[in-house]
Amino acid sequence: MAKIIIDGQEVECRDNIPVLQAAVDAGWDVPHYCYHPGLSIAASCRLCLMEMKMPHPQTKEMGWAPKLMPSCQTPAREGMEVRFATEKVQQNQKNCMEFFLLNHPLDCPVCDQAGECHLQDYSYKFGDPESRMVDQKLKNPKKDIGPNTLLYSDRCVMCTRCVRFTDEVSGTHELGLVNRGSRLEIDVFPGLPLDNPMQGNVVDICPVGCLLDKDFLFQRRVWELSTASSICPGCATGCAIRVDHADDKVYRLKPRYNPGINDWWMCDEGRYGFKYIEDSKRVTSPIVRRGLDATSPEWADIPEIVQFRFEQHVRENGGEKLAAVLSPFMSCEEGWLLIEFMRETAPECTLVMGPVPMEGDDQSFPVGATGDKVKFTILNEKCPNRRGVEMLLEAAGGNQCSFDEFVEKAGGGSFTAAWIVGGYPKEWVSKELNKATGKIDLLVVQDLLQNSLMTSAAFVFPACSWAEREGSFVNAGGQIQPFDWATNPPEGGRRDGQYLYEIAGYAGLYNGERVRKLMAAKIPAFKEIHEPPVRPVHAH
């Protein structure tokens, strides 16, 4: 740790981090565009300049250097003294803002970035409202630079973050600069568009409305969005994300800073992978069957019916005829509640890990990097919580079998009652499974999308998408990461946690954190939670 003095105040920071980072961490609002902690230093926007005390070249006496220094490029060293709250620094910020706006179109009313735009914010805070330019602005074209991304060239502030991203993080190099001077533009080689599994990040790091996401384009003004902290369910990496939503609709996902796991990034698969939330095949209300008679009772009545039927079944058939298939899409809390209920009802029941979807190979970035050089990995394990469910199963002990064994045994009639949890965003029920469950009298299917098991199930429970749930996922690295709910379940639905909570015998409102504590009290492995640090307000 180094102690440095910013504007007369002592600030402690990690050694050698840029002064800009130290200042922003400590709450200073230092305007910056080109600096991004996940990219190399360009020091080209010249917005973050500061004054610094230096030894005089001749007398060696410490004094304020007449020259301004880029704070993003200057490492913080013990004892150094810098200042931002000076006229010179502020004048430069003002000049820069005037320069940025010279050729900037008056697009804010139609610009997606408006409301979260650092050109707007900085102009307001650091700039001058009057433009002194009477000459015509340069006009640059809008470009369709890839399947997911648009580039509004004339809104660009030339911070080169996006270019450095494709060079240094994705390693795909699609973006480049063309021309020079005031006619600089960001561009791609025609026919080699920006199209890589991580490209969406360039939209996030673009400080202005130049790079925009087609998926979100003109969907919603950003100030109407609410946000929830979440974890991406797309793969076992477990990227920390933000779910931006309004009126119970998810509009977009954005990465949250999560050092060591996803840092500042997320992949496109995760980013755009939330569309199944609005799938027309979603199950929305519970169904209870007795013979040919199907009803959709009140949620409040369900726990009792479930408990009664299961207890009756165990009495009649014995506990070893019971099985529960847990899904790697469940949160730890939900898994734990289900196990609680099953083992309570029948300690001999068999617990099963549901199918773990695997697709292709892991993808590491920058492309071609290995070992230390890897900055991001998309795992081929396409579910968020295999580790968490495995931890639960390990703690639960007792009778367990693999999913394949379960299918085989069920087909052979070993189980007469089973609780099968799905939650997969895609069709997942195999013919074998479908056939095997024919032998099960008391079948509970808890799933997101309608599937063939449901026609014969005694109970069908709608599962919620992760955006509607709360709990925690354990990623491939073993970190237990809590996530919040963003939207409400579809009309008629209910959070899985809530009904499992009640079925497991608890009363009141389900709350992820409370259940986590209960769970951790019994399973110490769940004590240590990983929560990403809160990013400093002025960082972007």
**Residue numbers of the site for ligand SF4 (CB under 6 A)?**
104, 107-108, 111, 113-114, 117, 119-120, 155-162, 186, 205-211
N-to-C CA span, the chain: 23
For position 401 contacting other proteins by CB under 8 A, the verdict is no
Q: Which is nearer to ligand SF4, 165 or 526 (CB)?
A: 165
Give, in order, the Cα–Cα distances in Å from 367 to each of 258, 362, 363. 21, 11, 8
- Of residues 124 and 189, the one with the C-beta less far from other proteins: 189
Under 8 Å between Cβ of 379 and 371: no
Taking CB under 8 A as the rule, does residue 175 contact other proteins? yes
Interactions with ligand FES, residue window 63-102 (CB under 6 A): 70, 72
Query: Cα angle at 275 between 269 and 281, to 5 degrees?
Result: 130
- The residues, ordered by sequence, that sit 6+ positions from 507 with a Cβ below 8 Å of its Cβ are none
When the beta carbons of 13 and 391 are compared against ligand FES, the nearer one is 13
β-strand pairing of 350-353 with 322-326: parallel
Give the residue, chosen from 19, 20, 23, 47, that forms a contact with other proteins under the rule CB under 8 A: 47
| Of 22, 23, 48, 453, the one binding ligand FES by CB under 6 A | 48
Segment interacting with other proteins, rule: CB under 8 A, options 2-10, 45-53, 112-120, 453-461: 45-53
Contact assessment for residue 176 and residue 187, using Cβ atoms and an 8 Å cutoff: yes
Q: Which of 8, 57, 129, 181 binds other proteins (CB under 8 A)?
A: 181
**Cα 389 to chain centroid, rounded:** 20
What is the chain's percent helix, strand, coil content, to nearest 5? 30, 20, 45
Identify how many contiguous H helices and E strands the chain contains and give both numbers: 13, 26
Burial class (CB in 10 A: 0-12, 13-18, 19+), 130: exposed
- Comparing CB distances to other proteins, the nearer of 182 and 430 is 182
Q: Which one among 4, 21, 22, 32 touches ligand FES, defined by CB under 6 A?
A: 32
In contact, 530 and 480? CB cutoff 8 Å: yes
In angstroms, rounded to a whole number, what is the distance separating the alpha carbons of residues 496 and 124?
A: 45
Binding partner of residue 190 among ligand FES, ligand SF4, other proteins, none, CB cut-off 5 to 8 Å per kind: other proteins
Say how far apart CA 76 and CA 73 lie, in whole Å. 10
Among 34, 324, 338, 458, binds ligand FES (CB under 6 A): 34
Residue from the set 143, 321, 343, 495 that interacts with other proteins by CB under 8 A = 143
**Does a cis peptide bond (omega within 30 degrees of 0) precede residue 366?**
yes
Q: Choose among ligand SF4, other proteins, ligand FES, none what residue 294 binds, the Cβ cut-off being 5 to 8 Å by kind.
A: none
Instruction: Kindly state the tokens that stand for 79.
Output: 């004892």
Nearer to ligand FES, 47 or 418 (CB): 47
* 433 to 61, 348, 428: CA distances (angstroms): 81, 22, 10
Does the footprint of other proteins cover residue 287 (CB under 8 A)? Answer: no
Crossing angle of the two packed helices 332-345 and 512-522, in degrees rounded to 10 = 60
Instruction: Write down the residue that tokens 């990623």 correspond to.
Output: 475
Asked if 150 and 142 count as a contact pair (C-beta separation under 8 A), the reply is yes
CB of 497 to other proteins, least distance (A): 43
**Cα(32)–Cα(48) distance, rounded to whole angstroms?**
5
Q: How is residue 160 written in tokens? A: 């080169």
The distance of closest approach from Cβ of residue 94 to ligand FES in the complex, given in angstroms and rounded to an integer, is 16
SS3 label, residue 316: helix
For residue 193, state whether it binds other proteins (rule: CB under 8 A): yes
Task: Classify strands 363-365 and 376-378 as parallel, antiparallel or unpaired.
Answer: antiparallel
Task: Name which position in 7, 46, 99, 539 contacts ligand FES (CB under 6 A).
Answer: 46
Give the span between the Cα atoms of 436 and 416, in whole angstroms. Answer: 11
Q: Does the protein bind other proteins through residue 142 (CB under 8 A)?
A: yes
155 makes contact, choosing from ligand FES, other proteins, ligand SF4, none, with CB < 5 to 8 Å by partner type, with: ligand SF4
> 45 or 314: whose CB is closer to other proteins?
45
Q: Does the protein bind other proteins through residue 63 (CB under 8 A)?
A: no
Candidates 11, 23, 47, 454: give the one binding ligand FES (CB under 6 A).
Answer: 47
Given CA atoms 229, 231, 233, 234 in this order, what sign does their dihedral have? Answer: positive
Given 28, 100, 251, 264, the residue binding other proteins (CB under 8 A): 100
Nearer to ligand FES, 157 or 421 (CB): 157
**Count of residues in contact with other proteins, rule CB under 8 A:** 61
Q: How many CA atoms lie within 13 A of 361 on its CB side?
A: 3
Minimum distance from residue 101 beta carbon to other proteins (Å) = 9
Q: Which two tokens stand for residue 294?
A: 């199907």
| Least distance (Å) between residue 83 CB and other proteins | 14
Measured from the CB atom, is 151 or 389 closer to other proteins? Answer: 151
Other CB atoms closer than 10 Å to residue 457's CB: what's the count? 24
User: Residue 25 or residue 187: which is nearer to other proteins going by CB?
Assistant: 187
As measured in angstroms, the least distance from the Cβ of 181 to other proteins is 4
| Contacted by 108, from ligand SF4, ligand FES, other proteins, none: CB < 5 to 8 Å by type | ligand SF4
Among 1, 57, 139, 507, binds other proteins (CB under 8 A): 139
Enumerate binding residues for ligand FES (CB under 6 A): 32-35, 43-48, 70, 72
Name the site residues for other proteins (rule: CB under 8 A). 41-47, 49, 66-70, 73, 92, 95-96, 99-100, 102-103, 107, 110, 132-136, 138-139, 141-147, 150, 157-158, 160, 172-184, 187-193
